């Protein structure tokens, strides 16, 4: 893993779930966990349909071998 692309590629090989996070205000977030990307996408779509100005982001929850804690990797629109 010599580059950030290599790091991301390695992390995405170990996805265990997805997290949708909505920014609610200064230091406040609502987080909802999902097992599949499609479920996370559907939830994000529903949030934005009900509140078009909502700031919502989908993260891949990655747990590579040798790591104690999971790593959350934000997904760009093209990766979703």
7-64 tens-digit pLDDT: 888 888 899 999 999 999 999 999 999 999 999 999 999 999 999 999 999 999 999 8
Give the pLDDT score at 4.
Answer: 83
How confident is residue 78, by pLDDT bands cut at 50, 70 and 90? low
Count of structural domains within the chain: 1
How far apart (Å, rounded) are the C-alpha atoms in residues 56 and 45? Answer: 9
Give the pLDDT score at 48.
Answer: 94
> By residue range, what is the domain housing residue 28?
4-79
Query: Nearest Cα to 15, choosing from 76, 68, 80, 59?
Result: 59
pTM (2 d.p.): 0.83
Give the pLDDT score at 18.
Answer: 96
How far apart (Å, rounded) are the C-alpha atoms in residues 76 and 80? Answer: 7
Q: Name every residue whose Cβ is closer than 8 Å to that of residue 36 and which is 6 or more positions away in sequence.
A: 18
**Angle, CA 71 vertex, CA 40 and CA 43 arms, to 5°:** 10
């Amino acid at each position: 893993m010599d580059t950030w692309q290599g790091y991301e590629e390695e992390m995405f090989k170990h996805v265990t779930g997805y997290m949708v996070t909505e920014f609610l205000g200064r230091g406040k977030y609502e987080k909802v966990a999902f097992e599949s990307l499609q479920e996370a996408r559907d939830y994000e779509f529903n949030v934005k349909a009900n509140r078009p100005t909502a700031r919502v982001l989908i993260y891949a929850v990655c747990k590579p071998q040798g790591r104690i804690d999971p790593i959350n990797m934000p997904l760009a629109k093209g990766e979703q």
